[in-house]
């Protein structure tokens, strides 16, 4: 599971997810990519599940890049706990996703295999995405 080795502060504020992604919005490494079309938080479990689905479909062929990292701690108070007594303890790690952010990239596989692998990976994520191709038109995933 992806998680930071060390952080400056254990807990973080929720924040606002306004605007679009300017950094990390273009294909930088691979031939095909999975781009977010909406905003949200992706947990480390979701990212790992999508990565596994992607690599299983391409059967060790090609190369995959994960362009996001969960560096925001998500806190939760225990069940049946009264209000107050401070903020809950960190439970999971999430990546903040804005529209336009490139989530995964891959190269070295056939076009059909690449699109199908990215479609399978998109099913594991909680936000809507689209498949992007270098020098091509977007395909809905």
Distances (CA, A) of 115 to 13, 34, 69, 107, 127: 36, 9, 23, 11, 18
Q: Could you tell me if residue 140 is left (phi over 0), alpha (psi between -120 and 50 degrees) or otherwise beta?
A: beta
First to last CA, the chain: 25
Residues of the chain scoring pLDDT < 70: 136-141
pLDDT given for residue 1 in this prediction:
87
Close Cβ partners of 74 (under 8 Å, ≥ 6 residues apart): 41, 43, 90, 91, 92, 93, 94
pLDDT given for residue 107 in this prediction:
94
pLDDT given for residue 50 in this prediction:
97
pLDDT given for residue 106 in this prediction:
96
| Buried b or exposed e, range 80-90, using 16+ CB within 10 angstroms | eeeeeeeeeeb
pLDDT given for residue 85 in this prediction:
94
């Amino acid at each position: 599971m992806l998680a930071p080795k060390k952080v400056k502060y254990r807990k973080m504020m929720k924040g606002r997810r306004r605007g679009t992604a300017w950094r990390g919005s273009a294909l930088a490494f691979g031939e095909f990519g999975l781009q977010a079309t909406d905003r949200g938080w992706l947990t480390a479990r979701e990212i790992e599940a999508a990565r596994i689905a992607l690599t299983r479909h391409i059967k060790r062929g090609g190369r995959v890049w994960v362009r996001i990292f969960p560096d925001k701690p998500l806190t939760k108070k225990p069940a049946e706990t009264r209000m107050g007594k401070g903020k809950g303890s960190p439970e999971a790690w999430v990546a903040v996703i804005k529209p336009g952010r490139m989530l995964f990239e891959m190269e070295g596989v056939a076009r059909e295999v690449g699109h199908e692998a990215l479609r399978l990976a998109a099913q594991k994520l909680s936000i809507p995405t689209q498949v992007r191709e270098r020098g091509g038109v977007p395909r809905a995933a």
